[in-house]
Structure 1
């Protein structure tokens, strides 16, 4: 699973109504007006001046919002950046931008947003945040800025590795799970070839990592007229924010880091952290289910994993029937349940889907799976998860077959509810033939000098980015931590009054909460 904000399945009209139910309180104190009190942005030189001096032409546009969301007045533009910052006169990328202007007459500046992934577009996310924070002092004092990172969404060139038909046939996006349909060396070579052919060439695949995006974000900061960056990122967006802080510490005004990825953990360790978190969340789902009549996982949560395995492993040879004729495979059933683990509100849907499996029906879990993949009812997929895969090829540690096989075995040990029960003979890293070595490096964002106070928001029951990672990120940055008691991935979209007030006070007044501050969902 990728590191992203809550899946679309929970963002329907009813959920959005719930999100909009609470209002953020007005924080007290004197606002820090970054545009008025900071010196004018300066040019970085090194041949990049023309990019930093751009003036994007923002024009009215209609953002995509979930049903039931209040209307949002937005403006869109495009930003040019060098594809390769070492060759600023070479090929360029264009970054899609969306701005929701501040509601008040005394704006502080811009609040740049990222929803996670990596690979998920920030333009729609900014519009959604504007809807959720419709009455917040944050939208009164800040222009909300969403951008689709290079290779993502409406930005060009865009990452694209599979056709819709290939996605429907179960095109692989990760080496996990191994044992079902493992990549061969020939297939990983072919993956590189088709991703390059469909995305604009190997040069594109070599320049879509987080460090490239952080450089784009610094261009965006200055183009928007902000001497220093004010930023809020969720999930993978916390990695992007932390890497920006590492690369441009003097250009940071404020960072909100929600649902944090652990900067101290390498790829193997962090994925096992995620597997452990998802197994714990599955067991809590099972415990909740056990209190209900006719729970498909039984009345003993300690045996729920084995009960679940008995229901889903037969799908390996015989997919469950679905109304659209596609069928539900083992991997799709696992992905459907994993999707529900992003948010406790989705647990009842997953339980219904597991009940359906007892009679050979797979529609409910397939809809959960499709919501995660972003599949429309007419079979069209966004390229988000393909972008996730390609970006991770530059961000994650590259594994040998032996290392990737060990990772899969450790994953199944940590998250046995996902185990197909087949021997893991040899797994391969999808990125083994990528044109360049990974560019992120581990650990990252440590020992940063001159960084102002940051605010990490971490949910205790987060299955996707476990709470310890938030603690580690806050310590690595020397910043503050807001602990949130709850069962979901990330907290900014909940519109919880306690969280809203804390975040607004920090963004507007640059005052972080006292040590040990907690909110409850």
Structure 2
């Protein structure tokens, strides 16, 4: 059986309800609020930019453990934003984007839209979590905190789907294919399943970042904001950068934390992630002198039996792939290292419960066995956002590049990678973006935050993005993925003051 840890990292994004009344003050559940259009309105999109939003109890929109917990929070309200499926056909099919709002507690500056990354993560659920971490700060006092599920994700419809829940469970424990033909057949079947379950090629063609930023501008207007204030984490930095390129005159302020370098190709991103997680694993072992597993060689030996025989965990099994996913999940933040230690101690004793829980959380499986569409959306958005390799000469060259650059690292492939075309090579629609240096003339000063020991989005990516955007850079010295509103008063105070007053730090800052 072949195993791949690089694959784990690569995997590691309706009509408005009818109402008889329209109000401009504070709406109650089921009432409609019309605040737009605001700012420039592209020709042909007037009805979207000026649409009314009907706010309702969020609980009716919950669909998994995460959303049930978040949407039941006191004081949040939800709406469905109507947007065109294809912006080139504004009079054609419409789709909906889920929106959640927590109102400003004091004198309002405006709305703060946010995206937590993924791609494929729910911005609606994340908004509740982030607002909770910013409780009693000027951020929640001055801004309506707005989370939205990007098109195809979570509450938004149509949803991107690629496998049934049963197929997801089965895929996690099945052996990796041993031949190129088997790999490619599996990848093609996955791509075909995405088109079938998601509503066809037209849906998949319009789920990328190119479309998401158009939805954000519609939402900005519908919320009554002349200009956009935005907080983007991880993949959310790609969204923010693309928005600034497309709508430079509509930007008020942006914090981009845990940057994805828009000028890097997928191979460079993979290499950076492998090295980033390796650095985080080294940091974990450096502080783990009293652990049962204290080195990568011991870890490798502990995981090896899972390669041929997954470990029984109740009526389920822990595969090597899931164990590797669990390790990656726990390396995202040093606060999770205690959980990793528990998982490794359990595995040393022949138990895999904690590793399975880590993998479930990362992949999006809830307590009842249902899956969010996080992984399906991640793959679909990646396939339309990034250039794909469809010829074997380029494939072999790229595989050699990744293998040579990551040789000797724990998170690299345990066997030489097969020269097989990946899922995106079989995607039924073309990609809509290319790596490039962003052109953002005329935007205000933005704020980029980059963490020195970030495993998922390496520090240099943030440095490069800040340079490309002529933005102010906050360097955070820690081992974790993203930093804003995560416990550093140095980072948080500077970021919140910037969003509220539009005054960035006088110079680049190190925290």
Q: Does 1:121 align with 2:113?
A: no
Could you tell me which residue of structure 1 aligns to residue 25 of structure 2? none
1:420 deviates by: 5.4
1:314 deviates by: 2.3
CA distance in 2, matches of 1:227, 1:233: 19
Could you tell me which residue of structure 1 aligns to residue 504 of structure 2? 512
1:307 deviates by: 2.7
- Residue 403 and residue 164 in structure 1: after superposition, are their counterparts in 2 closer, same or farther (change >3 A)? farther
1:3·1:116 contact (CA, 8 Å) conserved in 2? no
Task: Say which SS state the counterpart of residue 150 (structure 1) adopts.
Answer: coil
CA distance in 2, matches of 1:179, 1:129: 43
1:418 deviates by: 3.0
Matched residue pairs, number? 473
Task: Say which SS state the counterpart of residue 264 (structure 2) adopts.
Answer: coil
- Residue 504 and residue 2 in structure 1: after superposition, are their counterparts in 2 closer, same or farther (change >3 A)? farther
1:467 deviates by: 0.6
Alignment of 1:306-325 (within 5 A): 306-322=297-313, 324-325=314-315
- Residue 498 and residue 353 in structure 1: after superposition, are their counterparts in 2 closer, same or farther (change >3 A)? same
Task: Say which SS state the counterpart of residue 490 (structure 1) adopts.
Answer: coil
Q: Structure 1: which 5+ runs fail to align?
A: 6-38, 298-303
* Large movers: runs of 4+ above 4 Å: 2-5, 62-71, 177-183, 401-413
The alignment yields a C-alpha RMSD, in angstroms, of 2.7
Task: Please give the per-residue CA displacement for 1:381-427, whole angstroms capped at 9, x wherever unaligned.
Answer: 11111100011001122023454455555555527323453342323
1:141 deviates by: 0.6
Could you tell me which residue of structure 2 aligns to residue 29 of structure 1? none
- Residue 428 and residue 488 in structure 1: after superposition, are their counterparts in 2 closer, same or farther (change >3 A)? same
1:456·1:473 contact (CA, 8 Å) conserved in 2? yes
Could you tell me which residue of structure 1 aligns to residue 56 of structure 2? 59
2:71·2:125 contact (CA, 8 Å) conserved in 1? no
- Residue 231 and residue 179 in structure 1: after superposition, are their counterparts in 2 closer, same or farther (change >3 A)? farther
1:188 deviates by: 2.9
Task: Tell me the TM-score normalised to structure 2 length.
Answer: 0.86
CA distance in 2, matches of 1:389, 1:215: 21
Task: Say which SS state the counterpart of residue 494 (structure 1) adopts.
Answer: coil
- Residue 74 and residue 470 in structure 1: after superposition, are their counterparts in 2 closer, same or farther (change >3 A)? same
Q: Does 1:204 align with 2:196?
A: no
CA distance in 2, matches of 1:4, 1:330: 15
Task: Please give the per-residue CA displacement for 1:123-180, whole angstroms capped at 9, x wherever unaligned.
Answer: 111111111111010111111111000000000010000111111112599xxx8869
Q: Which moved more, 1:422-431 or 1:132-141?
A: 422-431
Could you tell me which residue of structure 1 aligns to residue 425 of structure 2? 432
Q: Does 1:441 align with 2:438?
A: no
1:398·1:438 contact (CA, 8 Å) conserved in 2? yes
Q: Does 1:497 align with 2:499?
A: no
Q: Structure 2: which 5+ runs fail to align?
A: 1-8, 14-35
Q: Does 1:347 align with 2:337?
A: yes
Aligned match of 1:380 in 367, 370, 381?
370
1:194 deviates by: 1.2
1:3·1:235 contact (CA, 8 Å) conserved in 2? no
Task: Please give the per-residue CA displacement for 1:248-307, whole angstroms capped at 9, x wherever unaligned.
Answer: 111100011011111221111111111110111111112222x21x5313xxxxxx3333
Aligned match of 2:80 in 78, 81, 85?
78
Could you tell me which residue of structure 2 aligns to residue 416 of structure 1? 409
Q: Does 1:50 align with 2:50?
A: no
Task: Please give the per-residue CA displacement for 1:491-514, whole angstroms capped at 9, x wherever unaligned.
Answer: 124143222211111001111113
Task: Say which SS state the counterpart of residue 426 (structure 2) adopts.
Answer: coil
Task: Say which SS state the counterpart of residue 79 (structure 1) adopts.
Answer: strand
Task: Please give the per-residue CA displacement for 1:10-49, whole angstroms capped at 9, x wherever unaligned.
Answer: xxxxxxxxxxxxxxxxxxxxxxxxxxxxx98245343111
- Residue 115 and residue 308 in structure 1: after superposition, are their counterparts in 2 closer, same or farther (change >3 A)? same
Task: Say which SS state the counterpart of residue 53 (structure 2) adopts.
Answer: coil
Alignment of 1:58-457 (within 5 A): 58-62=55-59, 71-104=73-106, 106-170=107-171, 184-289=183-288, 291-292=289-290, 294-297=291-294, 304-322=295-313, 324-400=314-390, 401-404=392-395, 407=398, 410-411=401-402, 414=406, 416-419=409-412, 421-445=414-438, 447-457=439-449
1:133·1:495 contact (CA, 8 Å) conserved in 2? no
1:98·1:123 contact (CA, 8 Å) conserved in 2? yes
2:172·2:322 contact (CA, 8 Å) conserved in 1? no
